[in-house]
Each structure stands twice: as structure tokens, then as C-alpha cells.
């Protein structure tokens, strides 16, 4: 679990920091524009502002995960934020044009960009979920399945 935590911290710090650059803001714009879940961010904050908001959320997730190494409640919070992040990005597989590769027969053939780029978030989602479940089991006052059977 420690390995999952610290690799997620690296990903969130790195990607979160990049969100404050024009390069990254423009890079994620097509995902945001086509998403029914987060498209309102562009209307509310503009392209760079939306990217900045996401950057703040990603860095906040990293901070919660770091604090979670010492306090289980922050571990659960950070992991839940991570699960939410990757659940949203996985919906981009359905909403972003160009995910399926028409020349290869369409679905299940997916394009390198953006399809395969987004599909890797499935692993990050699973890592986040595993950390969340482990964090909940370590939280004080939680009932573990092995305790129920005693």
C-alpha cells in the first residue's frame, strides 16, 4: 500500500503542477470541452482557469495522500479524491472524440491518443480504490470482515 500511496503522490504532484502551464491547459482542453461532467469548468474559469482548478485539486489530493501516511482519515480522503479523479477521467473514454480507431474497425480498437492515453487511468483507478479500501479498514472504529466472524 505504501508503494501505491507514494506513486500516486508523485503522479498527482507532477500532473497537478503541470496544470498551471499553458501547454497542459491546452492539452486537456479537448477532454474538458467534451465531458458532460466537467465541461462547465471552461465556462466558469476559461481554459487556463479550469486547468488551474484541476491543478489545485490534484495537488490537494497529493497533500491528503502524504498526510495519510500518518493519519488514516487523510489516507481515506486522499484515496477517495484519487478514485473520483480517475472515475471522471475514465468517462472521457466515452465522451472524447477519436478514442476508437475507425481504421482498425472501431471499438474495441482504440487510438494511441487519446484512447490508450486514457485507458491507463484504469490502473490508476484500481490503485486508488485499493488504497481507499485499505485506508478504510485501518480507520479507527471500522468493522473489519474478520472481526464480524469472531
Predicted confidence (pLDDT) per residue in 27-41, tens digit: 999 999 999 999 999
Predicted local distance difference test score (pLDDT) of residue 109: 86
Determine the Cα–Cα distance for residues 145 and 51; give it in Å rounded to an integer. 41
pLDDT digits (tens, 9 = 90+) for 121-139: 999 999 999 999 999 987 6
pTM for the full predicted model:
0.88
Mean pLDDT, range 68-82, rounded to an integer: 96
Q: What is the mean pLDDT of the chain?
A: 91
- Of 34 and 107, the structure prediction assigns the larger pLDDT to 34
C-alpha neighbours within 13 Å on the C-beta side of residue 31: 20
Residues written for the chain: 150
Amino acid at each position: 500500500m505504501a508503494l501505491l500511496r507514494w506513486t500516486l503522490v508523485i503522479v498527482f504532484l507532477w500532473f497537478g503542477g503541470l496544470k498551471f502551464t499553458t501547454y497542459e491547459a491546452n492539452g486537456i482542453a479537448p477532454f474538458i470541452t467534451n465531458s458532460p461532467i466537467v465541461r462547465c469548468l471552461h465556462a466558469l474559469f476559461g481554459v487556463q482557469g479550469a486547468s488551474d482548478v484541476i491543478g489545485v485539486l490534484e495537488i490537494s489530493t497529493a497533500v491528503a495522500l502524504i498526510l495519510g501516511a500518518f493519519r488514516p482519515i487523510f489516507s481515506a480522503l486522499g484515496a477517495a479524491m484519487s478514485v473520483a479523479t480517475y472515475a471522471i477521467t475514465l468517462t472521457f473514454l466515452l465522451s472524447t472524440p477519436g478514442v476508437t480507431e475507425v481504421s482498425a474497425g472501431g471499438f474495441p480498437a482504440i487510438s494511441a491518443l487519446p484512447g490508450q492515453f486514457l485507458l491507463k487511468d484504469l490502473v490508476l483507478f484500481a490503485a486508488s480504490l485499493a488504497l481507499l479500501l485499505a485506508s478504510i479498514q485501518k480507520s479507527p472504529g471500522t468493522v473489519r470482515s474478520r472481526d464480524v466472524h469472531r
